[in-house]
């Protein structure tokens, strides 16, 4: 039955919304018989959707796809995407801190977080997911995440924004 489900669903993945992909990945991630469908979700995500998936959904999709293994080519592309996002944000905040000041950058960050950019607690949760998923060796991800949290250049650290829930994240 699982095999037939995989055969039917895999060709239709392009029709799924990102929220539906998240649900599929989380539902089948631990079912060995559904590994081909999980791989198809990873391929579709890594090749067609990375730029379009909202960050909060990409966190869950990352969690759902990590059972493929951190060295899976598509999982590496997803972790590389996270690293690029973190590096871009850290670089931009550093440049803006130089020109408009750290207080205005912090205000802008809060606005972006309301619109879907990951806040410090969500970054901590992502770090927990990636670490537990076996991706400790993906240096680019971890260096970029550290820059994003600690800040780069004149940018301030966002660690002061970490709530008690974020601090309790079991890393």
3-state per-residue secondary structure call for 138-166: CHHHHHHHHHHHHCCCCCCCCHHHCCHHH
Which pLDDT score, from 0 to 100, does residue 106 have?
79
Which pLDDT score, from 0 to 100, does residue 166 have?
67
Residue 155, both tokens: 């940018």
Which pLDDT score, from 0 to 100, does residue 35 have?
92
Which pLDDT score, from 0 to 100, does residue 170 have?
57
Those residues whose C-beta lies under 8 Å from the C-beta of residue 23, and which sit 6 or more positions away, are none
pLDDT by 10s per residue, the chain, length 171: 667 777 888 889 999 999 999 999 999 988 888 899 999 999 999 999 999 999 999 999 999 999 999 999 999 999 999 999 999 888 888 878 777 877 887 788 888 888 888 988 999 999 999 999 888 889 999 999 999 888 777 667 777 776 776 667 655
Provide DSSP, the chain: -HHHHHHHHGGGGGGS-HHHHHHHHHHHTT-GGGHHHHHHHHHHIIIIITTTS-HHHHHHHHHHHGGG-TTSHHHHHHHHHHHHHHHHHHHHHHHHHHHH-HHHHHHHHHHHHHTT---HHHHHHHHHHHHHTT-TT-HHHHHHHHHHHH-STTPPPSGGG--HHHHT---
């Amino acid at each position: 039955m699982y095999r037939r489900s995989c055969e039917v669903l895999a060709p239709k993945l392009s029709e799924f919304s990102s929220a539906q992909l998240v649900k599929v990945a989380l539902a089948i991630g631990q079912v060995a018989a559904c590994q081909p469908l999980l791989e198809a979700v990873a391929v579709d995500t890594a090749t067609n959707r990375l730029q379009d998936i909202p960050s909060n959904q990409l966190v869950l999709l990352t969690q759902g796809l990590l059972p493929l293994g951190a060295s899976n080519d598509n999982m590496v592309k997803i972790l590389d995407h996270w690293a690029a996002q973190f590096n871009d944000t850290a670089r931009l905040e550093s440049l803006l801190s130089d020109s408009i000041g750290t207080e205005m950058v912090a205000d802008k960050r809060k606005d972006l977080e309301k619109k879907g950019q990951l806040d410090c607690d969500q970054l901590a949760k992502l770090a927990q997911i990636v670490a537990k998923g076996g991706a400790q060796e993906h240096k680019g991800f971890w260096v970029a995440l550290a820059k994003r949290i600690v800040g780069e250049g004149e940018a301030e650290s966002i660690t002061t924004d970490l709530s008690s829930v974020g601090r309790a994240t079991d890393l």
